[in-house]
Amino acid sequence: MTTRNSSTRADVFDLLKDDHKRIKKAFRDYAKLDPDTDHEARRQYVEQVCAHLERHATLEETLFYPAARTALDDQGLVEEAEVEHDAAKALILQVRATPPDHPRFAALFTVLGEYVKHHVKEEENDLFKQISRADIQWGELLADMKARRAELEREGEATPSAHTDHDLDQDGHGARGAGTPLPPPRGTRSSQQHKVIR
Ligand SMILES: [Fe+2]
Ligand SMILES: [Fe+2]
């Protein structure tokens, strides 16, 4: 493998790891919320995290996993990852269908967070390791992933869904795309200090 190809390989992994880091932090920030936090603010924050998760899953399912499938003889880890995505999406549907003042709402979101943490660990520890030895045009994959990610961001900004917030963005923007800054939920100490997802 050329040096250039191996450095773009690292960039592909970094792009996904960066997203993983933001997503895990978003769940940790939610866990710090005051139990009395306004239900609507809670729902809006959860929706932003779910939308970000969906965009991340789309990025992997449309580009990263197909590249892995093509390059790997053993498809087991990719199959597992896709099954886990489906299970996470089913949980997201349940979260959206549950009123934020219902005790099940927090439980569902907490379980989703635990599930995502497990999935990310397997992805980074096992799938990345396996695919790093595969014969892939990493430069092309990286360019495609960056372009797709930008497209998903634009779609997220242009299509405020019935689920997404109107005012969580303190700058007055609507729904956010993958890779766009997202403030921590109101009611956490960190909400005044730094961003959760960007
Ligand atoms: Fe994944
Ligand atoms: Fe991932």
What is the pLDDT of the chain when averaged over all its residues? 83
**Structure pTM?**
0.80
Of residues 7 and 87, more confidence is placed in 87
Give the lowest-confidence range in 34-43, 92-101, 160-169: 160-169
CA of 91 to the centre of ligand 1 (A): 15
CA of 105 to the centre of ligand 1 (A): 23
CA of 27 to the centre of ligand 2 (A): 15
CA angle 73, 119, 76 (to 5 degrees): 20
pLDDT score of 182 more than 70: no
What is the rounded CA–CA span in Å between residue 71 and residue 155?
30
The answer to whether residue 127 sits within a structural domain is yes
Question: What local confidence, expressed as pLDDT, does residue 3 receive?
Answer: 67
The answer to whether residue 93 sits within a structural domain is yes
What is the rounded CA–CA span in Å between residue 27 and residue 88?
14
Q: Report the number of distinct structural domains present in the chain.
A: 1
Show the tokens assigned to 13.
Answer: 């992994």
Give the lowest-confidence range in 62-71, 123-132, 184-193: 184-193
Show the tokens assigned to 148.
Answer: 């797709």
What is the rounded CA–CA span in Å between residue 123 and residue 119?
6
Question: What local confidence, expressed as pLDDT, does residue 36 receive?
Answer: 77
Show the tokens assigned to 92.
Answer: 């997201």
Question: What local confidence, expressed as pLDDT, does residue 126 receive?
Answer: 96
CA angle 189, 193, 197 (to 5 degrees): 100
Residue-range definition of the domain harbouring residue 79: 3-192
pLDDT score of 46 more than 90: yes
Which ligand has its closest atom nearest to the C-alpha of 20? 2
Question: What local confidence, expressed as pLDDT, does residue 2 receive?
Answer: 64
| CATH assignment of the domain containing 168 | 1.20.120
The answer to whether residue 36 sits within a structural domain is yes
The answer to whether residue 198 sits within a structural domain is no
Of residues 107 and 190, more confidence is placed in 107
- Over residues 127-180, the pLDDT tens digits come to 999 999 898 999 999 999 999 999 998 888 775 443 333 333 333 233 333 444
The answer to whether residue 183 sits within a structural domain is yes
**The one-letter amino acid at 65:** Y
